[in-house]
C-alpha cells in the first residue's frame, strides 16, 4: 500500500457568477502532493499551480497562500492538472490522504461542474483517508484541529509556508506517517501539560462557581 498525501489551495468565485455554469464558491489554484511508500517514506512529489476559469486571486488569498494571479495565468487548467495528478499516482494499490474532507469534496465539485470524466477519480474519492479524523481519534476528541496545531501537538517542526499546497501536503505526510507508525502516540510534553492545566483550570472554575451557592 502506498499513500498520496494531497493538499489543495483555492480561490473564491464571485457571488454574482452565473450559477448555471459554475455553482460552487471556490476553485483550485494549486495541487501539492507527496507519495509515501509502504514504510511511510516520501518517495515522490507532485506540485502544480492551476489556472482558475471562473474565480480570481484577491489580496486575501494571495496574502494567505503566497500565490498571485501572475503565478496561475499560464498554469494548466484544472482538467489538465487533475489528470496529470492521476497519471502521477502509482498503478498499484494507493490511497489518497488529506487534512479534512474539504479537498476530496473540492475535487468532486470541480470535476462535476466542469464535466471531467475519469473512472480513476471515483476510485480515489471512494478510498480517501481523512488525517484530521485520524488525529482526532488519537486525541480522543471530536474537535476539528487545525493542521498547525496538530503538528505542534505531535512535536513535528513544519517545513515551508503554511497554506502552500506542497508544504501542507509534506507536513501532513509527516504527521500521517507518525500517527500510523506509532501505536503509543504521545503528545508533545509542553502541549500535553498546557492542555492538562487548561482542563484543571476549567474544572476548578466550575466547582468554585457553585461552591457557595445556597438554594432556598
Confidence (pLDDT) at 143 = 74
Sheet with 129-130, strands from edge to edge, namely 42-49, 26-36, 2-12, 94-98, 129-130
Distances (CA, A) of 115 to 3, 31, 56: 27, 19, 21
Residue 19 has pLDDT above 80, yes or no: no
Evaluate whether residue 213 is within a structural domain.
no
Confidence (pLDDT) at 73 = 96
Confidence (pLDDT) at 190 = 65
Confidence (pLDDT) at 137 = 87
Confidence (pLDDT) at 36 = 98
Evaluate whether residue 195 is within a structural domain.
no
Confidence (pLDDT) at 206 = 45
Confidence (pLDDT) at 64 = 97
Partnered with residue 205 across adjacent β-strands are: none
Distance CA 214, CA 210 (A): 9
Confidence (pLDDT) at 48 = 98
Confidence (pLDDT) at 187 = 72
Q: 71: Cβ–Cβ under 8 A, 6 or more apart, which residues?
A: 49
pLDDT digits (tens, 9 = 90+) for 56-98: 999 999 999 999 999 999 999 999 999 999 999 998 899 999 9
Evaluate whether residue 215 is within a structural domain.
no
Q: Predicted confidence band at 203 (pLDDT cuts at 50, 70, 90)? A: very low
The radius of gyration of the chain's CA atoms, rounded to the nearest angstrom, is: 21
Residue 189 has pLDDT above 80, yes or no: no
| Domains: count for the chain | 1
Evaluate whether residue 94 is within a structural domain.
yes
Between 86 and 136, name the one with better pLDDT. Answer: 86
Evaluate whether residue 126 is within a structural domain.
yes
pLDDT digits (tens, 9 = 90+) for 22-35: 999 999 999 999 99
Q: 7: Cβ–Cβ under 8 A, 6 or more apart, which residues?
A: 31, 32, 33, 98, 99, 103, 165, 166, 168, 169, 172
Evaluate whether residue 206 is within a structural domain.
no
Q: Is 4 helix (H, G, I), strand (E, B) or coil?
A: strand
Q: What is the mean pLDDT of residues 170-177?
A: 98
Domain that holds residue 186: 2-190
How much is the mean pLDDT over the chain?
Answer: 89
Residues of the chain above pLDDT 70, percent: 86
Evaluate whether residue 123 is within a structural domain.
yes
Evaluate whether residue 197 is within a structural domain.
no
CATH of the domain at 81: 3.30.420.10
Confidence (pLDDT) at 204 = 46
Amino acid at each position: 500500500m502506498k499513500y498520496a498525501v494531497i493538499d489543495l489551495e483555492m480561490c473564491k468565485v464571485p457571488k454574482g457568477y452565473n450559477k448555471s455554469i459554475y455553482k460552487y464558491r471556490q476553485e483550485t489554484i494549486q495541487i501539492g502532493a507527496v507519495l509515501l511508500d509502504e514504510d511511510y517514506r516520501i518517495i515522490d512529489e507532485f506540485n502544480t499551480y492551476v489556472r482558475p476559469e471562473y474565480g480570481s486571486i484577491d489580496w486575501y488569498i494571495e496574502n494567505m497562500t503566497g500565490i498571485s494571479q501572475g503565478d496561475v495565468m499560464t498554469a494548466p487548467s484544472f482538467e489538465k492538472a487533475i489528470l496529470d495528478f492521476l497519471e502521477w499516482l502509482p498503478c498499484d494499490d494507493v490511497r489518497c490522504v488529506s487534512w479534512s474532507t474539504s479537498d476530496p469534496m473540492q475535487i468532486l465539485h470541480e470535476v462535476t461542474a466542469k464535466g471531467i470524466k475519469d473512472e480513476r477519480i471515483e476510485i480515489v474519492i471512494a478510498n480517501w483517508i481523512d488525517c484530521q479524523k485520524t488525529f482526532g481519534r488519537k486525541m480522543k476528541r471530536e474537535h476539528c484541529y487545525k493542521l498547525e496545531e496538530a503538528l505542534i501537538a505531535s512535536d513535528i517542526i513544519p517545513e515551508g509556508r503554511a497554506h502552500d499546497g506542497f508544504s501542507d501536503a509534506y507536513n501532513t505526510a509527516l504527521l500521517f506517517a507518525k500517527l500510523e507508525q506509532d501505536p503509543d502516540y504521545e503528545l508533545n510534553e509542553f502541549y500535553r501539560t498546557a492542555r492538562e492545566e487548561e482542563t484543571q483550570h476549567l474544572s476548578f472554575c466550575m466547582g468554585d462557581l457553585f461552591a457557595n451557592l445556597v438554594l432556598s
